[in-house]
Structure 1
């Protein structure tokens, strides 16, 4: 700004009045300032301006897996909320670089971001998240860290899992198996609990239901389906409850290669309702989580924390709990021979 003022032959305050439209400036002086801005190719430093105004300029967004459509939709919601406030979103994707999340946590701290939204869909170490929380506000999406008071935007995964398992069992299935998510994740634990509640309500023993632990990626769904369906046809599961759509799609891929028809030979369900779920054949029965809305709400929660900085815990609003709703399509039918 000093360079612009010197070039235009005006004071720094005059340059500020013109750039911020915050004070009266004669038309001739305004023209000289704008001409100097053009000649010098001056661009205001938004971070410095926002720091002076004490407003938010940039936030971080940690996304574990960019190939997962559910995470991409959450990122869209975050970006939309940030764009409405003129805030920059810095994307961090640890899986894309094969670097530990602890390294990315330090990188984000060094960027002087105002806050971070964290998607921990692959089992991130709690220490990385807590390290970030020491530097500024952190909001979790689709995850909680039991024992730590970090705000989290989640859907009712337990209820959604209970409803979809009850639907599969109502179709007559008694030999079911579960492809669950990473055991370190709260959401995976919630979905497993919901499945087990529905199984117990159907007068079956949840402890006798096979559970294979995946990592929410398509490849693990393929591999675990191969393991669970390796037995004779009269004893293997007639339905797979998959803890997300990615693993369900992997299981469907294996079944196609193994010449197993869905849903005639095997029923499969997922969780999340990503866009491709209704486009594959057969269309996947799943549980919908409103991903975009969750991302938008997480950004709003973070901005609210930043706006209320210094007001204490009493000012914290309760994070929203989103509904998880059943989407019945074509991948479930009564078991063979029923």
Structure 2
């Protein structure tokens, strides 16, 4: 096949060389590592393309097949002590661990502050201690994705979307779910609906805001910034924000709240109770996550169940395909959520 020179100085990957040569990434890796199993003709063809394109393999690409560790790094920006305190992590990590075990891989948890996580992640990949990376809590603008791509380290993002085709990710319907909850409340007669959202550095929270706004627009209601807030996934934030909303003049108070998580919603419920009001009679409330506590709040929470188990399995399958040098199609996937209707949203 004809070979086109890399005139635009694009940083080529091992997969680009494989595509130009019409072979697998594994075959290119064997040539780079001077390993057997490649015919003389094919080896010379690949070497000619490498020379013509000015390709320089990263340390990781050169060493992957030579010393595969069969370990996968799962990177989380949190300390080990707070790792399983969040509503999502236990189920997701369990799903990932089970899926990796069935494929013969072990799970390496990489935790710490944002900077500590990134440093350890890149170091363990460079030292060949992990064959690939799963990133379930990426923040908007996080440069770790660029660094992993630069080093050609197989990576799959979970719960975050990226417009670049070379970035593999799996996510769920944050926007559609938030829109559904908002429309449901509108159809029940609510016209002043507050969004007590999670941290704005998470793309999922931006999507939930988009869903909330689109539902208001579809139903002919104005978007009121005074009824929208962002904050941590903590009950205190939900409690304090609801107190502020209930302190507004009666005609400006919301009659319903869409909360960014069940933990936030639990705080909202506490503030309503402290104000001697009733849920859902005085204020309807919905959550997000379907945390175990959502069935034991008073009243039980209407919420969104994310397909965490499926997301974990899909992410593992995608990553192993990348490690094997297989062409990944598609490179991204959005999975559906489930709406769990309980007492807190009314009837």
Normalising by structure 1, we get a TM-score of: 0.74
Contact 2:166 2:331 in 1 (8 A): no
Look up the match of 1:91: 109
The correspondence for 1:254, drawn from 268, 271, 286, is: 271
Contact 2:239 2:271 in 1 (8 A): yes
Q: Could you say what secondary structure the match of 1:126 adopts?
A: coil
Q: Tell me whether 1:299 sits opposite 2:316 in the alignment.
A: yes
Look up the match of 2:345: 332
Structure 1 gaps, min length 5 = 1-49
Look up the match of 1:72: 90
The correspondence for 1:110, drawn from 123, 131, 135, is: 123
Residue 71 of structure 1 deviates from its aligned partner by 2.2
Per-residue CA deviation, residues 216-249 of structure 1 (Å, 9 max, x unaligned), is 3333222322222222344311111112222112
Q: Tell me whether 1:127 sits opposite 2:140 in the alignment.
A: no
Q: Could you say what secondary structure the match of 1:66 adopts?
A: helix
Contact 2:95 2:313 in 1 (8 A): yes
The correspondence for 1:186, drawn from 179, 203, 227, is: 203
Per-residue CA deviation, residues 134-170 of structure 1 (Å, 9 max, x unaligned), is 3412211111244574211111211111111100111
Q: Aligned Cα RMSD in Å? A: 2.4
Look up the match of 2:185: 168
The correspondence for 2:330, drawn from 317, 327, 337, is: 317
| Aligned-partner Cα distance in 1 for 2:65–2:221 | 63
Residue 283 of structure 1 deviates from its aligned partner by 1.1
Contact 1:105 1:131 in 2 (8 A): no
Q: Could you say what secondary structure the match of 2:236 adopts?
A: helix
The correspondence for 1:242, drawn from 233, 256, 259, is: 259
Residue 302 of structure 1 deviates from its aligned partner by 0.9
Distance 1:108-1:208 versus aligned 2 partners, 3 A rule: closer
Contact 1:301 1:319 in 2 (8 A): no
| Aligned-partner Cα distance in 2 for 1:326–1:142 | 18
| Aligned-partner Cα distance in 1 for 2:72–2:204 | 24
Residue 74 of structure 1 deviates from its aligned partner by 0.9
| Aligned-partner Cα distance in 1 for 2:266–2:314 | 28
Q: Tell me whether 1:273 sits opposite 2:286 in the alignment.
A: no
Contact 1:181 1:243 in 2 (8 A): yes
Contact 2:158 2:315 in 1 (8 A): yes
Residue 125 of structure 1 deviates from its aligned partner by 4.8
Aligned length: 275
Per-residue CA deviation, residues 306-326 of structure 1 (Å, 9 max, x unaligned), is 112xx5xx5443433210221
Contact 2:197 2:230 in 1 (8 A): yes
Which has the greater radius of gyration? 1
Contact 2:195 2:227 in 1 (8 A): yes
